[in-house]
């Protein structure tokens, strides 16, 4: 992982040599006209190995009640009517059978009330 000037009279005297996967991995060597280009390429190459697009972000499987508790601790307890809103949301959460928050949509409560009407 170095950028160095070879001073060999070449049009592109700056050499960037890096090992993104470590010393046992593939070596990447490329020549540049300026030191800035070489260091930018080195940073880009080393950051590219950290990005793993094939690994998706983990899904958030928290329940609605867990998010409600977090909301209470961080925000609602400081509100004038926070306790009242918290109780009402707890009741709503129980009536919806505490769904996973990631799957919760605006249409879910309507579907639940439609099913309860039958």
| Prediction pTM value | 0.48
List the domain boundaries for the chain.
2-50, 64-117
In this predicted structure, the answer to whether residue 106 has a pLDDT above a threshold of 90 is no
pLDDT, position 109: 66
Write down the H helix ranges in 1-118. 35-50, 64-74, 82-95, 107-117
In this predicted structure, the answer to whether residue 24 has a pLDDT above a threshold of 50 is yes
Task: Over range 16-34, report the average pLDDT.
Answer: 91
Contacts of 27 (CB under 8 A, 6+ apart): 17, 18, 19
In this predicted structure, the answer to whether residue 57 has a pLDDT above a threshold of 80 is no
Q: What is the DSSP letter of 106?
A: T
pLDDT in tens, 70-97: 999 999 999 999 999 999 999 988 988 8
Average pLDDT, the chain: 86
pLDDT, position 118: 44
């Amino acid at each position: 992982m170095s950028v160095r000037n070879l001073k060999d009279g070449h049009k592109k005297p700056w050499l960037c040599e890096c090992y993104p996967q470590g010393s046992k991995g593939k070596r990447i060597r490329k020549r540049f006209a300026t030191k800035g280009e070489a260091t930018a390429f080195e940073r880009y190459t080393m950051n590219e190995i950290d990005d793993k697009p094939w690994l998706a972000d983990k899904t958030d499987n928290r329940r609605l009640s867990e998010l409600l508790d977090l909301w209470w601790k961080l925000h609602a307890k400081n509100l004038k009517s926070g306790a009242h809103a918290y109780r009402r949301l707890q009741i709503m959460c129980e009536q919806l059978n505490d769904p996973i928050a990631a799957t919760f949509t605006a249409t879910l409560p309507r579907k639940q009330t439609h099913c309860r009407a039958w």
